[in-house]
């Protein structure tokens, strides 16, 4: 009898387990997107397996055929983590806003504002490393929180849609920062801002260990700690409960006595703070300068990461790792396989597309599971 109960579609049983659907459904969506991506690569006359292996090699997950002097798989992986750090912060920023029913599409602008203010106040100072590095984190967090808080205030006080205000602020910050860089802080050779001091930088660039040179990201430790903190806030605190309640139903929250306006502003301040940390680890970590009139794509890619990770901090850790592999490994895949690096963006887009179909996949799986259970019940009743 027990054997007969186990009969049925294994895939439906696997995806239909409610306790683990938060994990199994996204993994299924990723698998489907990679299969569709493989079809695209086959149409281009390329081996999909080689392409995916190249992505892993370019990210330091698998070894390359050969390396330049001072480089190895380990140095590539440290570089990957350096690039991964701002993505974690940016994705958490999007997730916090989404949990409260808000859409922070201005993460890139908040990153740039935080990165620029921190650069000119701390990055160009003569402060020693023990003072400069913590100050970089504090200043960037404060600037990001102020910009995010402004968006939340405009939403609460004047009912200005946060998508509109954050997009407009993106443009304002982009061109204002570009103006000041080009007129006061530009490097005449690179046409970017002057490089920040090594004492203020959150990446220990060119650190020699044995025969290898590493770019050691200090921010990755803070990023993992912040993941745990955000997870704890949403799961175990009154603040987290109120933010989620406001995101689920503002009218019901207001009726229950939850201050909706206050929580909206607070959510955007926390979201902006995390975006500020992303800006610090990007402009004073992974990079050491700012390109004028250009917004980082990290803030926009973070939207895909947050959706794929179901706005769950732990899920975001995994989804950001995957998206960063595709982004970081695309250059090596392009040079090794002879395909455009933009194919990586196509794969990322496919992952986002199937991740967006999450509710539909869940509905179909639950329906199939229900039908399967009914068939098994009828079979047992006949026997």
Please give the structure tokens belonging to residue 71: 């480089």
The answer on pLDDT for 1 being more than 60 is no
The answer to whether 103 touches 163, Cβ cutoff 8 Å, is yes
Of 374 and 160, the one with more pLDDT: 160
The string over 58-83, giving b where at least 16 C-beta atoms fall within 10 Å of a residue's C-beta and e elsewhere, is: bbbbeebeeeeeebbeebbbbbbbbb
The answer on pLDDT for 151 being more than 80 is yes
> In the predicted model, what is the mean pLDDT of residues 330-344?
85
Residue 216 buriedness (CB in 10 A; 0-12 / 13-18 / 19+) = middle
Q: What is residue 357's predicted lDDT score, i.e. its pLDDT? A: 78
The residue assigned the tokens 């003569």 is: 126
Q: What is residue 8's predicted lDDT score, i.e. its pLDDT? A: 46
The answer on pLDDT for 78 being more than 90 is yes
Q: What percent of the chain has pLDDT over 70?
A: 95
Cα separation, 91 vs 319, whole angstroms: 9
The answer on pLDDT for 214 being more than 90 is yes
Q: What is residue 21's predicted lDDT score, i.e. its pLDDT? A: 73
Q: State pLDDT tens for residues 123-143.
A: 999 999 999 999 999 999 999
Q: Lowest mean pLDDT: which of 21-25, 159-163, 268-272, 277-281?
A: 21-25
The answer to whether 74 touches 62, Cβ cutoff 8 Å, is no
The answer on pLDDT for 212 being more than 50 is yes
Q: Lowest mean pLDDT: which of 13-27, 58-72, 304-318?
A: 13-27
Q: What is residue 383's predicted lDDT score, i.e. its pLDDT? A: 60
DSSP assignment letter at 216: E
Max CA distance (Å), the chain? 85
Which option is the CATH number for 58-338: 1.10.10, 1.10.3470, 1.20.120, 1.25.10? 1.10.3470
Please give the structure tokens belonging to residue 47: 């081996």
Q: What is residue 286's predicted lDDT score, i.e. its pLDDT? A: 95
Q: What is residue 350's predicted lDDT score, i.e. its pLDDT? A: 83
Q: What percent of the chain has pLDDT over 90?
A: 67
Q: What is the mean pLDDT of the chain?
A: 90
The answer on pLDDT for 152 being more than 60 is yes
Of 153 and 16, the one with more pLDDT: 153
The answer on pLDDT for 195 being more than 80 is yes
The answer on pLDDT for 6 being more than 50 is no
Cα separation, 338 vs 267, whole angstroms: 45
Cα separation, 209 vs 88, whole angstroms: 27
Cα separation, 179 vs 104, whole angstroms: 25
Q: What is residue 295's predicted lDDT score, i.e. its pLDDT? A: 95
The answer on pLDDT for 2 being more than 50 is no
pTM here? 0.90
81 pLDDT band, cuts 50/70/90, is very high
The answer on pLDDT for 3 being more than 90 is no
> In the predicted model, what is the mean pLDDT of residues 286-298?
94
5 pLDDT band, cuts 50/70/90, is very low
The answer on pLDDT for 351 being more than 50 is yes
Q: What is residue 233's predicted lDDT score, i.e. its pLDDT? A: 95
Q: State pLDDT tens for residues 245-289.
A: 999 999 999 999 999 999 999 999 999 999 999 999 999 999 999
Q: Lowest mean pLDDT: which of 19-23, 67-71, 138-142, 352-356?
A: 19-23
Q: Encode 138-174 in three state secondary structure.
A: HHHHHHHHHHHHHHHHHHHHHCCCHHHHHHHHHHHHH
Domain ranges within the chain, ordered by starting residue = 1-46+341-383, 58-338
């Amino acid at each position: 009898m027990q054997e007969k109960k186990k009969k049925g579609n294994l895939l439906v049983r696997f995806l239909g387990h409610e306790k683990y659907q938060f994990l199994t459904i996204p993994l299924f969506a990723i698998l489907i997107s990679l299969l569709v991506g493989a079809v695209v690569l086959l149409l281009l006359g390329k081996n999909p397996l080689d392409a995916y292996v190249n992505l892993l090699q370019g990210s330091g997950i698998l070894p390359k055929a050969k390396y330049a002097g001072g480089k190895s798989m380990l140095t590539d992986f440290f570089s990957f983590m350096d690039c991964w750090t701002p993505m974690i912060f940016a994705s958490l920023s999007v997730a916090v806003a989404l949990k409260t029913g808000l859409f922070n599409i201005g993460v890139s602008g908040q990153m740039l504002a935080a990165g620029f203010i921190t650069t000119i106040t701390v990055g160009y100072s003569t402060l020693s490393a023990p003072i400069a590095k913590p100050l970089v984190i504090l200043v960037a967090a404060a600037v990001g929180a102020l910009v995010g808080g402004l968006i939340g205030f405009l939403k609460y006080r004047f009912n200005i849609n946060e998508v509109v205000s954050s997009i407009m602020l993106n443009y304002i910050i982009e061109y204002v920062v570009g103006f000041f860089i080009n007129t006061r802080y530009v490097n005449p050779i690179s046409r970017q801002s002057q490089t920040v001091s090594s004492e203020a930088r959150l990446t220990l660039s060119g650190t020699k260990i044995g025969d290898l040179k590493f770019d050691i990201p200090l921010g990755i430790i803070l990023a993992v700690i912040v993941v745990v903190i955000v997870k704890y806030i949403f799961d175990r605190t009154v603040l987290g409960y109120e933010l989620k309640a406001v995101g689920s139903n503002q009218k019901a929250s207001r009726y229950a006595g939850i201050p909706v306006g206050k929580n909206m502003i607070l959510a955007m301040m926390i979201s902006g703070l995390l975006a500020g940390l992303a800006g610090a680890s990007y402009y004073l970590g992974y990079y050491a300068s700012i390109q004028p009139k250009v917004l980082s794509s990290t803030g926009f890619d973070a939207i895909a990461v947050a959706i794929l990770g179901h706005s769950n901090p732990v899920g975001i850790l995994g989804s950001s790792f995957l998206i960063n592999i595709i982004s970081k490994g695309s250059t090596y895949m392009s040079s090794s396989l002879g395909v455009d690096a933009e194919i990586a963006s196509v794969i990322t887009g496919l992952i986002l597309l199937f991740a967006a179909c999450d509710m539909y996949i869940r509905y179909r799986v639950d329906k199939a599971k229900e039908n399967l259970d009914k068939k098994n019940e009828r079979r047992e009743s006949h026997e």
